[in-house]
Chains A and B, each alone.
Chain A
């Protein structure tokens, strides 16, 4: 059998959208190569997620109770499930956690891996993964030649398509095994209300906001849209906001459906981090700013006037 195993992700006990995106992508691959879709969720409460994953094509929803995240523990547990299910293809999120455990899982399974794929297709029974390279200035298509083909996939890159799978629920006995890195403490106070990496809308501020005291203007729009707050390197380097908000080459790479750039000129390093966003809105006083070259909708105007107007307009229509 040529089964596909998806590793899903939860956030605060809820299913992340990427789990459905990957299950949907897996369904298409499994249908093309003739196999089943297994979606693994790290939880002791797998029943809660089975319905949602079945509705996007999962034939089996597997729960593995691996406790708090540790890259080694997750890798051990996920590898145990791979040994049991013997999938031909494994899809994992290219998330902060996924990047870490996928690397270990690939070595354990002696598999080739393409990381940060944005499109998946099937050719001659093998998956072809497309990924941006050189800061999005080229795209490369790869096939994996090992028996197991592994991929990490960028959030928001896959469509979620309703399709019923068998949806059987299984509980895996996989365990974390030996973990040699111990977490002493976590500090989540400086972070974003909505995570940048998988946000479907991002509102970002650049040097045009003039000072840290003006973030509330940008944050209000983000809050109204349920969006993550992003920032350009200039604002981070100036100390106006923490690095965890930075979008771009030395910050985070994002691919939201909609990226609203407020007062961002669009340095190439910034474009490298957000250039694959589906729709880009640029609000900037300088009509010659490079950001307008990639913007779907360009607004040449003062952000201090347009952004609050936009917030109140959205409040009206979104109720």
Chain B
């Protein structure tokens, strides 16, 4: 099996974001692998451990994404590819999916796995778009994957529960929490990851046709409705005040 895992580098949730006109101020931002992509890397490695083959990690972004690829190496992937683009390009899912799909097509991969969404844009688009571009089936929100040759049986999350589906490789998968427990990179893994090569690609080498989104502006989040702490002598007092506030002021209940 040839497996491609999609790795996106995103700001850590705890990090403080300073918003500029069309980009954020990156000073002081802590970058991590998007948490769902860790499940994707782990699953890629587990499939290889069972079925043999090769796991390739690919990441789009500026030079700093190499750190994310080193972490993927330390976890156990076999090859790493860095597609060098500006960070805001990765907001355009159709452009991103085109670059990735062109790479994956050339590699003739059997399985493509990414997180169910990246935690910077929460778009949930790229992996399924790649499936469409490669004309292969997909399983979104996978909780369990089993391969029997090319036959794939998967359990996935759906609205209100779970679904068991059957399909076949080549296919694309999005990883949901619960698919596995990502391993921690070993010290030995981390040390050897530092020396491993990262293959650098430029967008024009991958033959993408260009961006379809324009970033008009960035802005800070809208101010919240001013909050207040209610004062009451007892639970009953709190309850009646809250009911009044929600029905008469907020008019939401």
- Residues of A whose CB lies within 8 Å of any CB of B are 71-72, 75, 94-97, 99-100, 102-104, 106-108, 111-116, 123, 128, 131-146, 180-192, 195, 197, 200-201, 225, 243-244, 249-251, 253, 257-258, 268-269, 272, 275, 278-281, 287, 292-302, 305-306, 308-310, 312-314, 317-318
In the assembled complex, the CB of A122 is this many whole angstroms from the nearest CB of chain B, namely 12
A115/B123 contact (C-beta < 8 A), A103-B132, A144-B212, A244-B161 known = yes
In the assembled complex, the CB of A129 is this many whole angstroms from the nearest CB of chain B, namely 9
* Binary contact track B87-125/A, C-beta < 8 Å → 1, others 0: 000011110010000000000000000000001111111
In order of increasing CB-CB distance, the 3 nearest A-B pairs are A112-B212, A191-B160, A103-B128
In the assembled complex, the CB of A228 is this many whole angstroms from the nearest CB of chain B, namely 11
**Complexed CA–CA distance, A313 and B234 (Å):** 14
B191 near A: Cβ within 8 Å? no
B200 near A: Cβ within 8 Å? no
Q: Which of A184, A225, A295 contacts B164 (CB 8 A)?
A: A184
Taking CB atoms, residues of chain A closer than 8 Å to B17 are: 134, 137-138
Taking CB atoms, residues of chain B closer than 8 Å to A112 are: 92, 94, 211-213
**Complexed CA–CA distance, A257 and B253 (Å):** 9
Tell me whether B168 and A186 are in contact (CB under 8 A).
Answer: no
A100/B140 contact (C-beta < 8 A), A113-B125, A186-B163, A258-B253 known = yes
Tell me whether B166 and A181 are in contact (CB under 8 A).
Answer: yes
B235 near A: Cβ within 8 Å? yes
Tell me whether B157 and A244 are in contact (CB under 8 A).
Answer: yes
Q: Is the interface of A mostly helix, strand, loop or mixed?
A: mixed
**Complexed CA–CA distance, A207 and B220 (Å):** 31
Taking CB atoms, residues of chain B closer than 8 Å to A301 are: 232, 235, 238
In the assembled complex, the CB of B232 is this many whole angstroms from the nearest CB of chain A, namely 8
A111/B140 contact (C-beta < 8 A), A103-B93, A296-B224, A297-B228 known = no
Tell me whether B133 and A299 are in contact (CB under 8 A).
Answer: no
Q: Is the interface of B mostly helix, strand, loop or mixed?
A: mixed
A190/B161 contact (C-beta < 8 A), A71-B128, A139-B222, A184-B166 known = yes
Tell me whether B138 and A181 are in contact (CB under 8 A).
Answer: yes
Tell me whether B177 and A139 are in contact (CB under 8 A).
Answer: no
Taking CB atoms, residues of chain B closer than 8 Å to A96 are: 141, 157-159
Tell me whether A143 and B213 are in contact (CB under 8 A).
Answer: yes
Tell me whether B160 and A297 are in contact (CB under 8 A).
Answer: no
B50 near A: Cβ within 8 Å? no
- Smallest CB-CB separation from A141: which chain B residue? B216
- Smallest CB-CB separation from A309: which chain B residue? B239
In the assembled complex, the CB of A75 is this many whole angstroms from the nearest CB of chain B, namely 7
Taking CB atoms, residues of chain B closer than 8 Å to A99 are: 124-125, 128, 140
A-B contact count (CB 8 A): 265
Q: Which of A138, A143, A281, A309 contacts B214 (CB 8 A)?
A: A143
Tell me whether B139 and A181 are in contact (CB under 8 A).
Answer: yes
Taking CB atoms, residues of chain A closer than 8 Å to B250 are: 258, 278-279, 296
In the assembled complex, the CB of B39 is this many whole angstroms from the nearest CB of chain A, namely 10
**Complexed CA–CA distance, A301 and B17 (Å):** 33
In the assembled complex, the CB of A44 is this many whole angstroms from the nearest CB of chain B, namely 21
A279/B243 contact (C-beta < 8 A), A95-B159, A96-B159, A180-B137 known = no
Taking CB atoms, residues of chain A closer than 8 Å to B164 are: 183-186
Interface centre among B35, B177, B224 (most CB of A within 10 A): B224
Taking CB atoms, residues of chain B closer than 8 Å to A295 are: 227
28 A-B pairs with C-beta separation under 8 A: A99-B124, A99-B125, A102-B125, A104-B128, A107-B133, A111-B212, A112-B92, A113-B212, A115-B93, A115-B124, A135-B13, A136-B221, A137-B17, A138-B219, A138-B221, A141-B218, A142-B216, A144-B213, A181-B137, A187-B162, A195-B159, A249-B13, A249-B119, A281-B242, A297-B230, A299-B238, A302-B235, A314-B243
In the assembled complex, the CB of B220 is this many whole angstroms from the nearest CB of chain A, namely 6
B59 near A: Cβ within 8 Å? no
In the assembled complex, the CB of A314 is this many whole angstroms from the nearest CB of chain B, namely 6
Taking CB atoms, residues of chain A closer than 8 Å to B203 are: none
**Complexed CA–CA distance, A250 and B119 (Å):** 9
Tell me whether B253 and A192 are in contact (CB under 8 A).
Answer: no
Taking CB atoms, residues of chain A closer than 8 Å to B219 are: 138-141
Taking CB atoms, residues of chain A closer than 8 Å to B187 are: none
Tell me whether A253 and B122 are in contact (CB under 8 A).
Answer: yes
In the assembled complex, the CB of B117 is this many whole angstroms from the nearest CB of chain A, namely 8
Tell me whether B214 and A145 are in contact (CB under 8 A).
Answer: yes
**Complexed CA–CA distance, A253 and B217 (Å):** 23
Q: Which of B24, B178, B229, B240 contacts A298 (CB 8 A)?
A: B229
Tell me whether A115 and B125 are in contact (CB under 8 A).
Answer: yes
Q: Beyond A112-B213, A115-B93, A135-B13: 16 further Cβ-contacts under 8 Å? A: A99-B125, A139-B219, A139-B221, A140-B218, A142-B214, A142-B216, A180-B167, A183-B164, A186-B162, A190-B161, A197-B159, A279-B225, A294-B224, A296-B224, A297-B229, A298-B228
Taking CB atoms, residues of chain A closer than 8 Å to B235 are: 301-302, 305-306, 308-309
Interface centre among A128, A143, A192, A313 (most CB of B within 10 A): A313
In the assembled complex, the CB of B125 is this many whole angstroms from the nearest CB of chain A, namely 5
Taking CB atoms, residues of chain B closer than 8 Å to A257 are: 252
Taking CB atoms, residues of chain A closer than 8 Å to B10 are: 134
Interface centre among A132, A138, A243, A309 (most CB of B within 10 A): A138
